[in-house]
Structure 1
Amino acid sequence: MKKYFENYLKNSCSEKDFKSFVELFSIKKNQLILEQQMEENWESIPVSGETPDLSNTLYKIHYEINKQEKGSGKSAVLLTYLTRIAAILLLPLAVAFYFQLQKDNQPGDVLQTISTPLASKTSFVLPDGSKVWLNSGSSIRFPQEFAGDERLVQLTGEAYFDVQKGEKPFRVKTALFTVDVLGTAFNVMAYDHEIPAVTLERGKVTLETKSKKQVALLPGQQAVVDTVAHEITLAQVETKLFSSWINNQLILKDEPLKEVITRLERWYNIEINVVDESLLEKRMTANIEFESIREVMELMEITLSVHYEYDKNLRRLEILKADN
């Protein structure tokens, strides 16, 4: 088996070898051997710097595979095996394409950027020991070392921070505001064209907008930034509704369909179009974890009295009023 695996990685296996390789690892008991050989190969590769934790990405790959629509017959079974093996063996390629560590030479600093595609998440540790969870369609930029008088990171999208206490202030800078903290856990949502918000789970943070409006948050509070009036609104919230995504859960509690759609598009990397705009004010409550998009839409049909049409090839979904 080891020979097949090595030849596969070197791209030197014949069609016959590849077929044997697939047949060997289609057997469930051989999965452990494959994982051990992958680990040996991974440990033999020299690495430098911090490496993102890709467990959430692997979770997502497995999740999508398990939710593939079931075919029938021997060919469908073989396709499932091939897909499972490809998901494991091609993970390094996914890392190369989607979690790019880009180094840019700037005066006194070496900066790197970590980005996540839609329908994927990752977590990693910053140079100061602070932990970051990066949500889908997001990117974060930070120095290789926090050498100045602050620990500054730049965020586009959404991230959850568990900040290590330190003498230097920790700052999260977005396009519209900056969050200052010494040691705490909080969620920052700053996607383009969406209402930005900061939700504090523990500790204390200060938020300051580009127009110099400032507010301090206490645990359990959320600050919503009005990008038109440049005002900040504080409210008491259930913090788990805004941080559950780090545990691969999407919790919706009486949310307008308009906001639900935006979150589902990112969660599943799918385009959703609501044909009748009057449906956008309908509200939805759900706890999504391992469900496929079809299962979510079937739930929506029952609870919201809507109808949906799904084009799997285009990954496009339409929501319509249910027929009376």
Structure 2
Amino acid sequence: MRKDSTISTYLNDLPEKDAKHLTDVLEKLETLEAPSLTSKTNAWEAIQAKIDTKSKGKTISFKPNTAKRGLMLIAAAAIIILVIFQFIPEAELTIIENPAGKTLAELLPDGSTVALNADSKIEYDKENWERNRTITLTGEAFFNVKEGEDFTVNFPNGKVEVLGTSFNIYARDDKSVVSCATGIVKTTFGEKETILIGGKSATYTETVNGTAVFSKIRTDEVSPSEVGRWQNGEHYFTSAKLTNVVKALERQFNIHITSKTDLSERYYSGYFSSDNLEEALELVFVPMGLSYQTEGDQVIVE
């Protein structure tokens, strides 16, 4: 049996009989294989449950001359648990990445669905999905959630918790928008919780002034039919930073846009469809008094 220095130290301090017994146990453990559907979290919870059950109503005490031996046995038991955990792999997350220029629909293990906008990603634990419906989102996605256990979506500036509903999350740069189409969702930004019903949205924005960061949360009414309509290739903007609209064009068409003029103080209200690049560029830049040239996947604005 291979022994590391910690185990060897405890074995050397134990009485010969106890050391032999523990050595036999460790040798048997090395022949075990981890259950294929068990995570470390599940294993620890099972062990803790057994400890709690067996320890109810019991008091463990040691006589002075056996205290050291008792403590050594407790330490040995702890080592056995640690050895067991070495055989249990960390649960692997399922990662779904959608590149720029595409949209993607994904069916989750419980029958819920998620549509990913361009340049977006989700991560979740498929193995433990039934008891832990939690997703981490980067980018933008529309969720249609089946009723069941709590369903949580974490994103950079906050999280959304639901039971059964449909909603859209936009989480990019300094802005996050949660729009509820049906049902009820609880949105958390920092320490502030907001309850949204169908037809409501919450917008979180951050503004940096020197070294200070100011955040603001605003709730608005929204037509349920407009929530997640990017899935149909429709992209609407109201007083949006033109730089953010440019980023949206780059994501939807997988292009790179370079501007010879400063766009940071310009704002855009309008629409474009991801079906036609030339039409989209015209709808965005011409009303702003800007011209553009295209060459392959490069667009130059001036």
TM-score range, shorter-chain basis? 0.5 to 0.7
- Residue 145 of structure 2: aligned partner: 163
Q: CA deviation at 1:286?
A: 2.5
- Residue 280 of structure 2: aligned partner: 296
Cα deviation, 1:25-69, whole Å, max 9, x if unaligned, reads: xxxxxxxxxxxxxxxxxxxxxxxxxxxxxxxxxxxxxxxxxxxxx
Alignment: residue pair count: 210
- Which one of the candidate residues 188, 211, 218 is aligned to 1:208? 188
Matches of 2:102 and 2:298 in 1, distance apart? Answer: 18
Answering whether residue 133 of structure 2 is matched by residue 151 of structure 1, we say yes
Larger radius of gyration: 2
| Identity score, percent | 28
- Which one of the candidate residues 96, 105, 115 is aligned to 1:123? 105
Amino acid at match of 1:297: L
- Which one of the candidate residues 137, 158, 164 is aligned to 1:177? 158
1:283-322 → structure 2 map (5 Å cutoff): 283-291=268-276, 293-300=277-284, 302-312=286-296, 315-320=297-302
Change (3 A) 1:311 1:266: same
Q: CA deviation at 1:221?
A: 1.4
Query: Do the aligned partners of 1:241 and 1:251 also contact (CA within 8 Å) in 2?
Result: no
- Residue 57 of structure 1: aligned partner: none
Matches of 1:186 and 1:173 in 2, distance apart? Answer: 14
Aligned-pair Cα RMSD in Å? 2.5
Change (3 A) 1:253 1:240: farther
User: By percentage of residues, which structure has more strand?
Assistant: 2
Look up the SS of the partner of 2:136 in the other structure. Answer: strand
Give the TM-score taking structure 1 as reference length. Answer: 0.58
Query: Do the aligned partners of 2:242 and 2:263 also contact (CA within 8 Å) in 1?
Result: no
4+ long deviations beyond 6 Å: none
Q: CA deviation at 1:319?
A: 1.9
- Residue 249 of structure 1: aligned partner: 234
Query: Do the aligned partners of 1:132 and 1:162 also contact (CA within 8 Å) in 2?
Result: yes
Matches of 1:286 and 1:124 in 2, distance apart? Answer: 27
Change (3 A) 1:109 1:270: same
Amino acid at match of 1:250: H
Matches of 1:180 and 1:279 in 2, distance apart? Answer: 34
Q: CA deviation at 1:207?
A: 1.1
Matches of 1:141 and 1:187 in 2, distance apart? Answer: 16
Look up the SS of the partner of 1:127 in the other structure. Answer: coil
Q: CA deviation at 1:151?
A: 1.0
Give the TM-score taking structure 2 as reference length. Answer: 0.62
Answering whether residue 195 of structure 2 is matched by residue 195 of structure 1, we say no
- Which one of the candidate residues 113, 130, 139 is aligned to 2:95? 113
Amino acid at match of 1:244: R
Q: CA deviation at 1:256?
A: 4.4
Change (3 A) 1:224 1:194: same
Q: Provide structure 1 residue ranges, at least 5 long, that are not aligned to the other structure.
A: 1-104
Q: CA deviation at 1:117?
A: 0.7
Q: CA deviation at 1:238?
A: 3.8
Cα deviation, 1:187-232, whole Å, max 9, x if unaligned, reads: 01122x24111111111101113x3221111212111123433442
